[in-house]
A and B are shown apart, each in its own frame.
Chain A
Amino acid sequence: MPPTPHHPPDLTDGWPDDPANAELARLASDLFASRPQLPPLALDRIQVRMRQEVVRVARRRRVATVAAVLVAAAALAIGLPYAFRTRPTQPAPAGPTTSAPDVPIQDQFKVTLPTATPKAPERPLIDLENAGPLFGDPAPKR
């Protein structure tokens, strides 16, 4: 916790240069010294009230949690039987519910084939005569 209320801070810390600084420093220390303090008994009473409130808030929170659980349980207790009671008991009648128009199903499609087979290339893909060594016997002759 940052503040250190029991030790006076450096009251003139970070002040810019000013001819009035001496007077201001005196005012600062007077201001600090003349702070009226609440009597310790008053502080004790405030602390007691605060602790009572802590207990009260915790109790209120517990009650709220219990109430929320009870409400949820009640909602389930009422809602579940109702849901079971009102759900449909027979399955829905089979068959189409809307009449479809009498359109025959199309299962034949017209396919257009090319009139001629594609021409073979004029040059062979592999020039076997010139590439003969590639297909020759790799083993050297003795």
Chain B
Amino acid sequence: MDARQTLLETLFNTYARGVGSYVYTRVRDAELAETITSRVFLIVVRNIGQLKGPPAPWIWSIVRSELARHFRDRKVHAPVDETIPADSAGEPPEQAIHREMQARVQTALTRLTDDQQRLVFMKFYQGMQNKEIATATGLTATNVGVLIHRALKQLKTYVEPGALYFMLCALNFAL
């Protein structure tokens, strides 16, 4: 295995789960998420020579453009499905709320700015620490914390309009 191949394997092992998870959040379809994630890593393979510096922002830019392409091609910006799916009628309430939460997060994410989406991707989907994000983005670690705080505050206003969030809090409290 040459150095290039080793680098690609490392990139896959480090970022694939997070990328898959983020794409899944955005498209809410496992098969579609797999296809788009797969496309992201094919682009990584073909353009690995362009990688200069930390990989996270580069991978994020590929994810973002692939998602944009998907939504452009499909001309679908899936609206929030306010109803609980029929096949989940028998599921426990916490699962239903979880599902609803995911749906709301999906829409809320698209309403954040590009920079906020990038930070949310790195923090919550790639599990990066503020210092790592700072190194990757060129911001200071303090700034990263403040920006993530601000992004979450905004996200909260989009996620929370109904009683769902209080239900979720109550459920978490009860559990």
A interface residues, Cβ below 8 angstroms from B: 1-11, 13-16, 18, 20, 23-24, 26-28, 30-32, 34-39, 42-43, 45-47, 49-50, 53-54, 57
Counting CB contacts under 8 A, is B116 at the interface? no
Main secondary structure of the interface of A (DSSP, over half): loop
Point out the residues of chain B lying under 8 angstroms from A24, CB to CB: 149, 152-153, 156
Q: Which of B69-77, B85-93, B126-134 is found at the contact surface with chain A? A: B126-134
Main secondary structure of the interface of B (DSSP, over half): helix
B interface residues, Cβ below 8 angstroms from A: 4-5, 8, 10-12, 14-18, 20-22, 24-25, 28, 30, 33-34, 37-38, 41-42, 44-46, 54-56, 98, 101-102, 105, 120, 122-130, 132, 135-136, 141-142, 144-146, 148-149, 152-153, 155-156, 159-160, 165, 168-169, 172
Contact sample, A vs B, 6 pairs, CB 8 Å cutoff: A1-B10, A14-B145, A23-B156, A28-B124, A38-B21, A38-B34
Measured CA separation A29–B69 after assembly (Å): 30
Measured CA separation A20–B169 after assembly (Å): 14
